Amino acid sequence: MPYTRITGTGSYLPERVLTNHDLEKFVDTSDAWIRERTGIRARHIAADGETVADMAEAALRQALDAAGRRPQDLDLIVVATCTAEARFPAVAAQLQQRLGVAGFAAVDVNAACSGFIYALSLVDALIRQGAHRCVAVIGAEKMSSLIDWSDRSTCVLFGDGAGAVIAEPAEQPGVLSTHIHADGTQGELLHHRPDTGHIVMEGNKVFRLAVKTLERIVDETLEANGLDKSAVDWLIPHQANLRIMLATAQKLALPEERVIVTVDEHGNTSAASIPLAFDHGVRSGRIRRGELLLMESFGAGFTWGSALLRY
């Protein structure tokens, strides 16, 4: 049975940057308040008319180049997103049309901020059973489309962007394990209101629940692989809140410099945040082949998950 290996990464961020000082001009907040509570300094915002598919395509093409693959090599596209402009066709199907390919499966996955981990888990299972050989896994979000820009509790948190990886079978690890969970009974703490189109969040409760849940998923992942926390080379967390991320690193006894952090520049890009951070770590030369990476996420639903992989 083959393993799933990541052969290429890519990312895309819109050109427009919205800083905390920009937000001060139209909402009751401050740079110091935002940084202290979230670690966020700025976020990227999609241009007028720029779509989730636009961002996903740019990230995917970069990942294909990194993997030395062509669109014609793909046999599955999975896009994690909760912000697609239309209910259908899926963003993944739109990407087929843009790439000039057709015939193979293309599907979107919605698990909010955990979407990329969910998508990677599904793809890993399909590759291991021999069903697919060259798969695009993409997280792409236009969170700005769901924001009430007068609500300072949410508008300071989110940004737009996309990250992508190419996954292929390999004889050596590879993805070692993935773990995905959900608890729909907690959904009201963080949800999208269809009547207003905006995000609603009880921030303090979400923060406490996220810290406890991510502690458990770290234990579950290490125990499943018979590994000590000292084996982990890099933590690539969902980029929602710097305090949550550093709490997970502390549990792993990882120094801050072994945590890939992009939340300061990107904000919370939901399903795009982990692949964006992954690509940043790879392209900056920090993450190297053979190192052990722990990805973990927590999002609306509530959903949470992890992936342990040897890059």
If the chain, 311 residues long, is cut into consecutive pieces of 10 residues, what is the mean pLDDT of each piece? 96 98 97 97 98 99 98 99 97 98 98 98 98 98 97 96 98 96 96 96 94 96 98 98 95 95 98 98 98 98 98 97
Q: Among 274, 300, 290, which residue's Cα sits nearest to residue 120?
A: 274
What's the CATH fold of domain 3-170?
A: Peroxisomal Thiolase; Chain A, domain 1 (3.40.47)
CATH numeric code, 175-310: 3.40.47.10
Of 44, 132, 238, 280, the catalytic one is: 238
The closest alpha carbon to 5, from 60, 65, 67, 64, belongs to 67
pTM, two decimals, is 0.98
Of 1, 6, 23, which is closest to residue 281 (Cα–Cα)? 6
113 is catalytic: yes
State the catalytic residue, choosing from 82, 179, 268, 280: 268
| Euclidean distance between CA atoms 118 and 106, whole angstroms | 15
Nearest CA to 110 out of 84, 136, 74 is that of 84
Residue burial 26-56, b: 16+ Cβ < 10 Å; e: rest: eeeeebeebeeebbbbbbbbbeeebbbbbbb
Q: Which of 82, 110, 113, 132 is catalytic?
A: 113
4 vs 223: CA distance, rounded Å: 20
Question: Which pLDDT score, from 0 to 100, does residue 1 have?
Answer: 83
- Annotation marks residue 238 as catalytic: yes
3-class SS of residue 171: coil
Q: Please confirm whether the linkage preceding 302 is cis (ω < 30° from 0).
A: yes
Name the token pair of 55: 């961002």
Torsion sign over Cα 111, 117, 123, 129: negative
Catalytic site residue 20?
A: no
278 SS3 class: helix
* Tokens found for residue 173: 């690890």
Are β-strands 198-201 and 190-193 bridged in parallel, bridged antiparallel, or unpaired? antiparallel
- Extents of the domains making up the chain: 3-170, 175-310
* 42-45 and 16-19 strand pairing: antiparallel
Say if 3-170 and 175-310 have the same CATH topology: yes
CB 148 within 8 A of CB 155: yes
Q: Cα-atom radius of gyration of the chain, to the nearest Å?
A: 18
